[in-house]
Amino acid sequence: MKHMQTFCAVVEYGGFVGAESVLGMSQPAISTHIRDFEIRLGFSLCHRGRSGFSLTEKGELVYRRCREMLNSFSDLEAELGALRNKLTGTLRVGLVDNTITNTQVPMPDAIHRFFKRSNQVSLRLAVLPPEELERELLNGNLHLAIGPFQKRHPALSYRPLYTEEHRFYCGRRHPLYDAEPAELSVERVGAYPISSRTYVQQAEMQTVRPYLGAAFVSNMEAQAMLIRSGQFLGFLPVHYAASWVESGEMKELALPELRWLSEFSLAMRARPAPQEVVRIFVEDLITSLGIQTVGR
Q: What is the pLDDT of residues 60-82, one digit of tens each?
A: 898 888 888 888 877 777 777 76
Q: What percent of the chain has pLDDT over 70?
A: 91
Residue 241's closest CA among 96, 98, 107? 98
pLDDT of residue 292: 38
Decide if pLDDT at 142 tops 50.
Answer: yes
Please determine, for residue 241, whether its predicted confidence score (pLDDT) is greater than 80: yes
pLDDT at 247 over 80: yes
> Mean pLDDT of all residues in the chain?
86
Domain positions in the chain: 1-74, 164-261
| Fold classification of 1-74 (topology level) | Arc Repressor Mutant, subunit A (1.10.10)
Give the highest mean pLDDT range of 113-122, 133-142, 179-188, 243-252.
243-252
Radius of gyration of the chain (CA): 23
SS3 6: helix
- The beta strands (E) that lie in 97-185 are given as 120-127, 144-147, 156-171
272-288, pLDDT tens digit by residue?
Answer: 778 888 999 999 999 99
Please state, in angstroms and rounded to a whole number, the distance separating the CA atoms of residues 32 and 25: 11
| Omega cis (within 30) before 274 | no
pLDDT of residue 74: 77
pLDDT in the model for residue 204: 55
Which CATH architecture does the domain made up of 164-261 adopt? 3-Layer(aba) Sandwich (3.40)
pTM of the model: 0.72
Q: Of the candidates 24, 83, 35, 96, which has an alpha carbon nearest to the alpha carbon of residue 266?
A: 96
Please provide residue 280's backbone torsions phi and psi, each rounded to the nearest 5 degrees. -65, -40
Mean pLDDT in residue range 234-263: 94
Give the mean pLDDT of 38-60: 85
**Mean pLDDT of the region 192-220:** 70
Q: How many CB atoms lie within 10 A of CB 11?
A: 23
Bridge-based pairing of strands 46-47 and 54-55 is: antiparallel
pLDDT above 70: residue 109 = yes
